[in-house]
Amino acid sequence: MLHKYFQPRLFRFAKAIVHNREDAEEVVEDVFVRIWQKRKTLDHVQNLRLYLYTATRNFALNYIRAQKGSEQLNIDDLKFELQTGLPNPQEAAEHSEIRQIINKATLEMPQRCKVIFKLVKEDGLKQKEVADLLHINIKTVENQLAIAIKRLALAISEVAPQNSKSNATAGG
């Protein structure tokens, strides 16, 4: 159950760090193996989600270090593929235009903004958790989220008047 829920999220996070599908899969599986091995000593973990993300970050960085000798995680080097799809196929069809607008707007966000937006809005981490995970100030997280939301709102507002006009002419 734990693996099924967290694996896709941790995989995307690991892939953002190691930039390779196979390496990311290996990193995430290593995290789950380690969790299983240490399961009897993990009673102290207060926030399992943050613990898993932190473990994934550490395993990914260790993997990179072993491969290339790199030591730092630079938030601007993280490359996330945002998942903004809707789970219900009928809803997805009804909202495809707005989803395309959101996808386009998120792709155009600065990398740091995109990473923070994804971790908070898609993966459900708290702002403080993202700050701790990425070793940045919580104000940076707040500011980048504000930028992301403004960009999305602007992109949607540019299309909203067109939609209401086409709806008015279709009904009248």
Which residues, including other chains, have CB under 8 Å from residue 133's CB and lie 6 or more apart?
50, 53, 54, 57, 119, 125
Q: What is the pLDDT of residue 164?
A: 47
- The range of the structural domain enclosing residue 20 comes to 2-73
Tens digit of each residue's pLDDT (9 = 90 or more) over 142-154: 999 999 989 888 8
Surface-to-core class of residue 56, CB atoms within 10 Å of its CB (0-12 exposed, 13-18 middle, 19+ buried): buried
Same domain for 122 and 49: no
- Indicate the residue among 73, 96, 129 that finishes a domain: 73
Same domain for 55 and 117: no
How far is the C-alpha of 20 from the C-alpha of 35, rounded, in Å?
A: 23
Same domain for 66 and 132: no
Joined tokens for residue 57: 């970050």
Same domain for 33 and 14: yes
Q: What is the pLDDT of residue 61?
A: 85
- Which pTM value belongs to this model? 0.59
Q: What is the pLDDT of residue 162?
A: 53
Q: What is the pLDDT of residue 78?
A: 61
Which residues, including other chains, have CB under 8 Å from residue 109's CB and lie 6 or more apart?
117, 147, 148, 151
Same domain for 96 and 66: no
Least confident residue range of 19-28, 121-130, 161-170: 161-170
Same domain for 25 and 103: no
The percentage of residues in the chain with a pLDDT greater than 90, rounded to a whole number, is: 17
Same domain for 86 and 17: no
Same domain for 61 and 138: no
Give the CATH number of the domain where residue 166 resides.
1.10.10.10
